[in-house]
A and B are shown apart, each in its own frame.
Chain A
Amino acid sequence: QVQLQQWGARLLKPSETLSLTCGVNGGSFNGYYWSWIRQPPGKGLEWIGEINHSRSTNYNPSLKSRVTISIHTSKNQFSLKLTSVTAADTAVYYCARGNGSGSPRGIHFDYWGQGTLVPVSS
């Protein structure tokens, strides 16, 4: 059974950098897209970006200038960094496994982390 366990900084101040890591237990680490998705309180889902084991990345154009997703295959972990946060970045952040065909078009999220609420407040 695949499990995603995420951890990282919680309360942030504006202009700080958000850092989260997601550890993957069970199943292969290769052959998937490892993704980050967020959900502001009371709002819908927003895709942040993803990386595969070859370190190929795709990012949400609206966040691309502030986002870095990296992968640590030896540890079965991947990480998210979001710079210069503001109150608008307050959200529950989820890591997820993207599964499907080799093309990003055919990817669905079949396993999710538990979610981490990251408030941004001065």
Chain B
Amino acid sequence: EVQLVESGGGLVQPGGSLRLSCAASGFTFSSYWMIWVRQAPGKGLEWVAKIKQDGSEKYYVDSVKGRFTLSRDNAKKSLYLQMNSLRAEDTAVYYCAREGLGATPDYWGQGTLVTVSS
């Protein structure tokens, strides 16, 4: 069974940093692109970033470029999102997802809440 479990969310002040983790199991992690998607409270989904199987390619939505860094450790079957210079508008539930069927997120974790507030 495919499982994705996010951790690392919490309350952080504007300008602060946070590192999210996603632990994967039930599939060959190193064979898949991985994705982060976020959802602000009461709002829709927003694609944030994706990383290639070997970590050699990374893509970000414009609003997080230069502030967020995506990485992965295939030996640990883990995905990471380092978030710096956080802003109030980054407040959201952050979902880790696998890019699978139809090059789209096919399996999602349950999400971790990031709140940026003073």
A and B: real partners?
Answer: no
Tell me the A residues contacting B by CB distance below 8 Å: none
